[in-house]
C-alpha cells in the first residue's frame, strides 16, 4: 500500500455546495431539516449486498494498511485532521441543517467538527509502546497489540460527526480498516466527513455504507467483520450483541444513559447554574452523557431552581443557521414525541413546570422548549426513563445517602456529577456513584485523554485514551 505523508501540503477547502454535490444521490432518500422541514439533500440508500462488497474491499485493504508503520498512520491521521479543519465551515453547515444544532453559539456544530479534529489529533499522539511485563532471571515477556482486522462502526444521530471520529480514529491508528454505517437520520454529515477523510486516506481503508437498520443488522452479523463499535440505544446494543454471538465478534457498546447530578448542601446555586444548564441542555439534551435527572438538597433547592430557571429562560432556541441561537430543534419527530409525553407524565404526577413545557404545535420544526420540572417523585417516568431531550426533572432530597441511593438505583450508569464548594466532600460522594465517569462541578466534559464508557446497561468497553486504543487491538504476548 502506498501512502503520502506530505504533512506540509495545504488541505483543500470545500465549499458547502461542493461538499453536498459530492455526497448526494439525485435518486436517494430525502433528508429533511428538522427546523424547517426543507430538503437538505438526498442520501444514497445502500443495501446489505452493497455492505457485503464494502466489507470485502476492506478485508483486502487491511493487511496493506496494517503494514504501514504506526508513525506513518499517525501522520495520515494528522493530515486527516487538517483536512477536516480546512472544510469545517461546510461540514458544520451540513451538520446544522441535517441534525438541527446551531452552527455558531455554544457547544454545537462548529464545536462538534472541532471536536472531530481534536480527537483525530489526540488519537495520533497517544503513546503506545511495547510493554515489558517482566525481564528477569525467569525470562522475558512483552505485550503488544496487533490489529483486529475489519471494524464495523454503527452510530447514532445526535453527534454524528464526532462519534464517527471516536469510532474510526483509534481503529485506523491500530491498523484496522473500517466500514461505517451512519444513522438513517443523519447520513449526510457522516458522508461529508468520510468524503473529506477519503481525500487523505488510502482507498478502501475507510468506507461509509448509508442505509437503514437492515444495513446495520447485516454489518453486525457479517462474518468478515472482526470488531463492532456501536453507539446508540440499549435495545439496539442488545440486538447487536445477539447478532455478534455467532462470529464471536468483539464489541464496544456505548449505550443509553440516565445520568444523575447531585447538588450538595454547600453548593453555590448562582455559581453552578450555568454549568448545570450546559450539562443538561447541551445539544438540546440529545446527548448520551447529559445530566438527565437532578437531585438537589433541600437547603439549596429553591435557590437552585430559581438560578437554573433564569439561565434556561435566556437561552435562545431556533434554526441552527441563525447565528444567535444556542438551542436547536429535536432531530426527529419520534424523539419530540418521547419528550412531550414524558413532560405530560411529569405534570400528571404532580410536577411543577418552572419554565417551558408549552410547545407551539402549529410552528414548523421539531422544537420543544427547554423545560424544567420540579417537585417530582423519584419514580416519575421523566426521572426513570431517558428523555434524550430538553426536559430536566428536579428532585428534592434531605440526606446525602438518600441522594446517592436514588442516583444508583437505575440499571444504567454512563456518567454522573456532584456539585459542591468542597472538592474533598464532592470526591467522597463521587466515589460512591455507579457510573463510568463522575464529574465534579461539571457534567459530560469528555476528553480524548480520559477513557469513556458505561457500566450496567450503558454498555461495556471504553473509548479514548490509551485504553481506548487497546480496545481496537488484540493483545499479543511474546515470552521467552
Ligand atoms: P439507535 O439504537 O436507534 O440507532 C443507532 C444505530 O443503530 C443507527 O445507525 C441504526 O440504524 C442502527 N441500528 C438500528 N437497529 C439495528 C440493529 N438491529 N442492528 C444493527 N444496527 C441497528 O440509537 P439512536 O436513536 O440513533 O441514538 C440514541 C441513543 O443512543 C440514546 O439512547 C443515547 O443515550 C445513545 N447514545 C449513547 C452514546 C454513548 O456514548 N454511550 C452516545 C450517543 C448516543
For 182-224, the pLDDT digits (tens) are 999 999 999 999 999 999 999 999 999 999 999 999 999 999 9
Given a cut of 60, is residue 125 above it in pLDDT? yes
Catalytic residue among 93, 288, 305, 463: 288
pLDDT of residue 6: 53
Q: Is the CB of 99 under 6 A from ligand 1?
A: no
For ligand 1, is residue 115 a contact (CB within 6 Å)? no
Q: Which pLDDT band holds residue 2 (cuts at 50, 70, 90)? A: low
**Spatial distance between the Cα atoms of 4 and 130, rounded to a whole number of angstroms:** 26
Residue 87 in grid coordinates: 472544510
Q: Mean pLDDT in the chain?
A: 97
The pLDDT of residue 350 is above 90:
yes
**Ligand 1 pocket test: which of 184, 232, 338, 459 has the largest number of ligand atoms within 8 Å of its C-beta?**
232
CA 213 to ligand 1: nearest atom: 11
Q: Whose CA is nearest to atom 30 of ligand 1?
A: 232
Ligand 1 pocket, residue 406 CB under 6 Å: no
Residue 370 pLDDT > 70, yes or no?
A: yes
Q: Which of ligand 1's atoms lies nearest the C-alpha of 181?
A: 9
pLDDT tens by residue, 384-433: 999 999 999 999 999 999 999 999 999 999 999 999 999 999 999 999 99
Delimit the CATH 3.40.309.10 region(s) of the chain: 259-447
Q: Is any atom of ligand 1 closer than 6 Å to the C-beta of 239?
A: yes
Give residue-wise pLDDT tens across range 8-66: 568 889 999 999 999 999 999 999 999 999 999 999 999 999 999 999 999 999 999 99
- Tell me what percent of the residues of the chain surpass a pLDDT of 90: 97
Catalytic, 288? Answer yes
**Closest ligand 1 atom, CA of 288?**
34
Instruction: Respond yes or no: is residue 254 known to be catalytic.
Output: yes
Q: Which atom of ligand 1 is nearest to the CA of 154?
A: 9
Q: Which CATH architecture has domain 259-447?
A: 3-Layer(aba) Sandwich (3.40)
Q: Say yes or no to pLDDT of 444 above 80.
A: yes
In the chain, CATH 3.40.605.10 sits at 16-255+458-479
Does the model's pTM come out above 0.85? yes
Q: Is 181 in the pocket of ligand 1 (CB under 6 A)?
A: yes
pLDDT score at 10: 82
Mean pLDDT on 160-175: 98
pLDDT reading at 3 higher than 70? no
What is the CA(320)–ligand 1 centre distance, in A?
23
Output the pLDDT for position 11.
Answer: 85
pLDDT for position 229? 98
Confidence of residue 479 (pLDDT cuts 50, 70, 90): very high
More confident position, 10 or 325: 325
User: Domain 16-255+458-479 in CATH: superfamily?
Assistant: Aldehyde Dehydrogenase; Chain A, domain 1 (3.40.605.10)
| CA 252 / ligand 1 centre spacing (Å) | 13
Amino acid at each position: 500500500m502506498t501512502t503520502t505523508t506530505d504533512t506540509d501540503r495545504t488541505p483543500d477547502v470545500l465549499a458547502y455546495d461542493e461538499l453536498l454535490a459530492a455526497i448526494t444521490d439525485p435518486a436517494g432518500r430525502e433528508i429533511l431539516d428538522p427546523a424547517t422541514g426543507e430538503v437538505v439533500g438526498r442520501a444514497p440508500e445502500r443495501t446489505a449486498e452493497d455492505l457485503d462488497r464494502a466489507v470485502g474491499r476492506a478485508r483486502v485493504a487491511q493487511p496493506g494498511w496494517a503494514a504501514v508503520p504506526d508513525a506513518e498512520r499517525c501522520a495520515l491521521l494528522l493530515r486527516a485532521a487538517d483536512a477536516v479543519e480546512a472544510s469545517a465551515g461546510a461540514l458544520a453547515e451540513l451538520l446544522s441543517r441535517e441534525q438541527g444544532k446551531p452552527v455558531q453559539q455554544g457547544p454545537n456544530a462548529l464545536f462538534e467538527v472541532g471536536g472531530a479534529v481534536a480527537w483525530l489529533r489526540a488519537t495520533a499522539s497517544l503513546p503506545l509502546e511495547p510493554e515489558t511485563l517482566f525481564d528477569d532471571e525467569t525470562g522475558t515477556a512483552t505485550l503488544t497489540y496487533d490489529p483486529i482486522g475489519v471494524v464495523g462502526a454503527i452510530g447514532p444521530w445526535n453527534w454524528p460527526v464526532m462519534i464517527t471520529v471516536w469510532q474510526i480514529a483509534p481503529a485506523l491508528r491500530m491498523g484496522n480498516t473500517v466500514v461505517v454505517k451512519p444513522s438513517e437520520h443523519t447520513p449526510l454529515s457522516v458522508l461529508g466527513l468520510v468524503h473529506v477523510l477519503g481525500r487523505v486516506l488510502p482507498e478502501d481503508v475507510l468506507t461509509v455504507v448509508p442505509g437503514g437498520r437492515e444495513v446495520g443488522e447485516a454489518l453486525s452479523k457479517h462474518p468478515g467483520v472482526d470488531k463492532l463499535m456501536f453507539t446508540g440505544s440499549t435495545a439496539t446494543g442488545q440486538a447487536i450483541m445477539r447478532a455478534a454471538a455467532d462470529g464471536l465478534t468483539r464489541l464496544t457498546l456505548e449505550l443509553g444513559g440516565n445520568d444523575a447530578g447531585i447538588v450538595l448542601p454547600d453548593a453555590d446555586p448562582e455559581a453552578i447554574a450555568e454549568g448545570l444548564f450546559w450539562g443538561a441542555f447541551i445539544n438540546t439534551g440529545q446527548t448520551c452523557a447529559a445530566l438527565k435527572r437532578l437531585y438537589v438538597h433541600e437547603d439549596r433547592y429553591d435557590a437552585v431552581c430559581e438560578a437554573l430557571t433564569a439561565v434556561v429562560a435566556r437561552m435562545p432556541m431556533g434554526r441552527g443557521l441563525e447565528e444567535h441561537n444556542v438551542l436547536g430543534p429535536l432531530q426527529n419527530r419520534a424523539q419530540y414525541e418521547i419528550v412531550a409525553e414524558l413532560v405530560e407524565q411529569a405534570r400528571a404526577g404532580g410536577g411543577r413546570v418552572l419554565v417551558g413545557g408549552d410547545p407551539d404545535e402549529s410552528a414548523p420544526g421539531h422544537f420543544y422548549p427547554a423545560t424544567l420540572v420540579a417537585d417530582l417523585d423519584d419514580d416519575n417516568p421523566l426521572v426513570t426513563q431517558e428523555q434524550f431531550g430538553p426536559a430536566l426533572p428536579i428532585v428534592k432530597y434531605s440526606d446525602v445517602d438518600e441522594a446517592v441511593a436514588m442516583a444508583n438505583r437505575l440499571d444504567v450508569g454512563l456518567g454522573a456529577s456532584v456539585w459542591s464548594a468542597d472538592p474533598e466532600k464532592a470526591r467522597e460522594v463521587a466515589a460512591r456513584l455507579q457510573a463510568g465517569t463522575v464529574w465534579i462541578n461539571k457534567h459530560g466534559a469528555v476528553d480524548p485523554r480520559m477513557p469513556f464508557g458505561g457500566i450496567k446497561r450503558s454498555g461495556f468497553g471504553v473509548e479514548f485514551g490509551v485504553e481506548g486504543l487497546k480496545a481496537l487491538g488484540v493483545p499479543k504476548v511474546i515470552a521467552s
